[in-house]
Chains A and B, each alone.
Chain A
Amino acid sequence: MNKRASFLIASLLLLAAESAAFAQTPILSFDQAAGFPGDVVTLRLVLTTGGIPVVAAESAFTYDTDQLTFVSASVTGSALTAGKKAVATVESGVLERLTVYDDGTNWSTPIEDGDLPLMRFRIAPTATPGSLLTILTHDCSVTVAPATKRAATCGTGLVFVQVAGTSPVISLGEASGAAGTSVTLALGLATNGMLPIATETTIAYDASKLSYVSSAAGNAASAAGKSVDPSVAGGVLQKIAVYATGGSWNTPIGNGDLALITFQIGAAVTPGSQLTVSISGCKYTIAPATTTDAACGNNGSISVSGAATCPDADGDNYAVCTATCNPAPGKQCGDCNDGNGAVHPNTLEVCNGIDDNCDTVIDNGQAALCDDGNVCTTDACGGAAGCTHVNNSLSCNDGNACTQADTCQGGACAGLNPVVCTALDLCHNAGVCNTGTGVCSNPAKPNGTACNDGNACTLNEACSGGICGGGTARSCDDAQACTADVCDPAIGCLTSVTNLDTGGFSAARVDGRDLVVLADAYNSCPGDLRYRLAANLDRVQTLPGACIDGTDFHLFMVSFGHNCP
């Protein structure tokens, strides 16, 4: 610790001790000021009455007249009310004493706590920069109405001679991080020989790219027992103040970090970009309460890490990528023509003579690219000339199931060979073709409609529920004794002659001789040597009924024993 700093601290400690010892005694205290050699500085002479009704006060002064020259004392002050006035006693330009009183009608009005006249001194041009000049008050007293004079505690004024051209410098450091991550900037202090006990820095940054997260005391602030007080408005950091309110309030802050400020880099911030956190309005305070501009040094700088962004000049969200760049968020690599927004991967290839989808093949797909969905045109891709569609005569489907042979004609599908609906049978009318299924409806004729069930052995059939039936049995009786009267459903009435033998006594009757003929041919079928058509009384000509069998025997027996006229 240098000599000047030791003196300052000792003085402050002395002032604090005096204040404690005479807490119930009126105090006349000086504050402090700072200035460069040749500057005029102003110090406040403050009265603290301690609850005593002070009507007048006075104090004597002693200071190094080689370093300080009294300039003036104001006639106003917050405590100079009700006609009180301050009278400075100056001898040979040296301030000897200051008296505050009222010689008028308000002489007995108490002086309230507050400023007595403001005392102005000029720092000698030869004063040593960095030195601390003192203005001692002594013989301090107050008068309590009506005329009781009491001693008061005196304070000491301090004037810090600043070093010309120098001041503490407050700077923000640098950091780097990827988009979406947090980075911390150090708010640094270079005291340049000054003894700041507090600092204040205004912060500005692009809140669209950086978000304030938090602040913490830096190493220098922590070492001096200081706290960081961030001012935040709407989530945006406005100012960083570093000070202490407790016992270390007047502990000077050394070189180092005042604060550590953490920001979050926006996720959409372009990698490789540089973000600036500006500082301004840098101030510092020297003990006990003189605040002076400090120099604002470097702004903060945040490098957003990441490779360069690959270009997407045509804005189709497909960039032209190389090994040294990355596509911007939301974009993809692979554009093969960054001057044509219609050309990029994953787009539809069209017939136009260029590689639309960047698969290295021009018009990949050829004819398929030109499919117009019409089977009646033959599609082809002609490169830059585009698609051609030539009418053909292929088979097609016109969507109408009631046309059975559809063929392309003039570029359209023509339905040919229509389904012709016919009546299913005599008990149904011709229906209508369903274009969806190609099936004809099958409407039944009204019940009672005359029909033919195909059975030659029935007569007068009629429709019922679309079915032909009913009717009466056909009678095949030909009134001939020697015929087998039978009805064949397929043929109708059959009247086969059963008198198979016409010789002798059997000539005119059906008897055993006829049965002999039948028996000889019995169980024979057409083609057999024994077969006799005449014996096939049921006249069935096809197998198996074509054979001479039991049916024929039973037909024969109908007329067995009959006489044949």
Chain B
Amino acid sequence: MTARRVALLAFAVALPIGVGCGGGGGGGGGGDTLQLSCVDGGAAPANAVTLICGGATNSTTERVDVVLGGPASGTTTLRGLNFDVIYEPANLEYVPAATDTSPLFSPNALVAVRLSDDQPGRVIVSIQEYGSVVAPVSVGAGQHLVLSLSFRRAAGVTFGPTPLTFENAEATSAVPAISFGSALALSYQ
């Protein structure tokens, strides 16, 4: 673990934990110049969805991966995920993707990712398999990328660690239940 990693761990301890546990970290740049840095809580726990740093796209943009932790054994089935990702709109901007897809769900799954029209700093996400004839998604052990979101520094600001958290999060038809938790923070300084 690097010195930077230690500092991130200390920051992670200070963050409130919502549902589930966070852990791990990575991403971000550093050094003498300003850049957007990302710290996460590590890999997603079993049957939990968390946010993990996906890497910098450039000095001001960071990809944040939504990852589902597979069960320790056996499989977990689910038909969809709904959640809001909350961030500080004074510091960050959500960067919509050209196409929202989910590598975890089937190619035909309905995927909706939009900024709330009345609540800045809220990205509303929904991924749903549809129809009763389509089998639920079955996941085994391991880390499973649900989809990636991109954020960039708001223009003209520098800021210290600002968290990205879940709200209104729930899994659809998940067996066993799936929890959501995030320990990811972005800073630009």
**A515-B110, A516-B80 known; A522+B124 contact, CB < 8 A:** no
Interface size in chain A (residues, C-beta < 8 A): 23
How long is the Cα–Cα vector from A436 to B81 in the complex, in angstroms? Answer: 74
- Nearest A residue to B172 via CB reads A516
Pick out which of these stretches binds chain A: B2-10, B17-25, B50-58, B126-134: B126-134
Q: Are B116 and A553 in contact (CB under 8 A)?
A: no
Q: Are B114 and A524 in contact (CB under 8 A)?
A: no
- Of A519, A524, A553, chain B has the most CB atoms within 10 Å of the CB of A519
Judged by a CB distance under 8 angstroms, whether B112 is at the interface is yes
Q: B102-121 CB contact bits vs A (8 Å, 1 = yes)?
A: 00000000101011111100
Judged by a CB distance under 8 angstroms, whether B82 is at the interface is yes
Judged by a CB distance under 8 angstroms, whether B83 is at the interface is yes
Q: Are B115 and A519 in contact (CB under 8 A)?
A: no
How long is the Cα–Cα vector from A94 to B76 in the complex, in angstroms? Answer: 194
Q: B82-111 CB contact bits vs A (8 Å, 1 = yes)?
A: 111000000000000000000000000010
How long is the Cα–Cα vector from A560 to B124 in the complex, in angstroms? Answer: 8
State the Cβ distance, A290 to closest chain B Cβ, in Å: 152
Classify chain B's interface size. Answer: 20 to 34
Q: Are B124 and A511 in contact (CB under 8 A)?
A: yes
Q: Are A530 and B132 in contact (CB under 8 A)?
A: yes
- Contacting residues, chain B, for A515 (C-beta < 8 A): 80, 82, 110, 112, 126, 128
- Contacting residues, chain B, for A512 (C-beta < 8 A): 80-83, 112, 124-128, 168, 170
State the Cβ distance, A532 to closest chain B Cβ, in Å: 12
- Contacting residues, chain B, for A557 (C-beta < 8 A): 112, 114
**A511-B168, A515-B82, A516-B172 known; A522+B131 contact, CB < 8 A:** yes
**A505-B168, A512-B124 known; A563+B129 contact, CB < 8 A:** no
Judged by a CB distance under 8 angstroms, whether A120 is at the interface is no
Q: Are B131 and A523 in contact (CB under 8 A)?
A: yes
Judged by a CB distance under 8 angstroms, whether A365 is at the interface is no
State the Cβ distance, A31 to closest chain B Cβ, in Å: 157
- Of A509, A515, A556, A557, chain B has the most CB atoms within 10 Å of the CB of A515
**A561-B115, A561-B116 known; A519+B131 contact, CB < 8 A:** yes
- Nearest A residue to B133 via CB reads A523
Judged by a CB distance under 8 angstroms, whether A481 is at the interface is yes
How long is the Cα–Cα vector from A505 to B116 in the complex, in angstroms? Answer: 13
Which of A509, A511, A519 touches B110 (beta carbons < 8 Å)?
Answer: A519
- Contacting residues, chain A, for B167 (C-beta < 8 A): 505
State the Cβ distance, A144 to closest chain B Cβ, in Å: 170
Q: Are A561 and B124 in contact (CB under 8 A)?
A: yes
Within 8 A of A (CB), among B37-88: 79-84
- Nearest B residue to A563 via CB reads B118
Q: Are B168 and A561 in contact (CB under 8 A)?
A: no
How long is the Cα–Cα vector from A511 to B112 in the complex, in angstroms? Answer: 8
- Contacting residues, chain A, for B124 (C-beta < 8 A): 509, 511-512, 560-561
Residues of B that sit less than 8 Å from A by CB? 79-84, 110, 112, 114-119, 124-133, 167-168, 170, 172
Residues of A that sit less than 8 Å from B by CB? 481, 505-506, 509, 511-513, 515-516, 518-520, 522-524, 530, 553, 556-557, 560-563
In order of increasing CB-CB distance, the 10 nearest A-B pairs are: A512-B82, A512-B126, A561-B114, A522-B130, A519-B130, A519-B128, A563-B118, A515-B126, A562-B117, A561-B124
24 pairs from A and B in contact (CB 8 Å cutoff) = A481-B117, A511-B84, A511-B126, A512-B126, A512-B168, A515-B82, A516-B172, A518-B110, A518-B130, A519-B128, A519-B130, A519-B131, A520-B130, A523-B133, A524-B131, A530-B131, A553-B110, A556-B112, A561-B112, A561-B115, A561-B124, A563-B116, A563-B117, A563-B119
